Amino acid sequence: MASRLLLLPFLLLLLSSIAAASSPHKGKLKEKLSHLHFFFHDVVSGSNATAMRVIQPAGALARSFFGIVTIMDDPLTEGPDPNSKPVGRAQGMYAATAQDELGFLMAMNLAFTAGKYNGSVLTVLGRNQPLHPVREMPVVGGSGLFRFARGYALARTHWLNLTSGDAIVEYNVHVMHY
């Protein structure tokens, strides 16, 4: 019994040194703030649609589209022109979760495909009222260069076709990461 108790401090020391050695961020944790600016193209109409309704309840309210769920794989580009340099895709969904106005729950991965962020992803989960001038949505995490990310995205409608629902949205994302 006594010899087992003596072993305990050595075991604890061993375990803590193993934990320290296996942490890839040990000794080089330096948080930085990055700003990303791009345009998001939500095409819901035509043969090249990048977003489609997957759930549409029979009783969907015309004023709010409450209950409608749309899945998207929307291109992200450097400029407002859809043919400008692609920088990634917004993959996820938006669900109309407000009854009295147009208001979406947005759940999406911003998967970057250009420059140093190629292969890195930011995950956004928040509330988006598309008819408001500016919408703020939390960035809740990320991967690749965006590990441990947290921050916010500001969305402003750059162009909207009220008939078709197609939209081009300017995004400014401010994110803390390592």
Ligand X SMILES: *[C@@H]1O[C@H](CO)[C@@H](O)[C@H](O)[C@H]1NC(C)=O
Q: Which residues bind ligand X (CB under 6 A)?
A: 45-48, 113-114, 118-119, 161, 163-164
Tokens coding 147: 């590990």
Q: Name which of 69 and 167 has its Cβ closer to ligand X.
A: 167
- SS3 for 82? coil
Separation CA 155–CA 35 (nearest Å): 13
Min. distance of Cβ 87 from ligand X in angstroms? 9
Min. distance of Cβ 163 from ligand X in angstroms? 4
Q: Name which of 22 and 47 has its Cβ closer to ligand X.
A: 47
Min. distance of Cβ 84 from ligand X in angstroms? 14
* Intra-chain end-to-end CA distance of the chain, in Å: 46
Separation CA 111–CA 84 (nearest Å): 17
- Work out whether the CA dihedral 28, 29, 31, 37 comes out positive or negative: positive
Q: Name which of 57 and 119 has its Cβ closer to ligand X.
A: 119
Separation CA 54–CA 42 (nearest Å): 15
Q: Name which of 138 and 144 has its Cβ closer to ligand X.
A: 144
Min. distance of Cβ 104 from ligand X in angstroms? 20
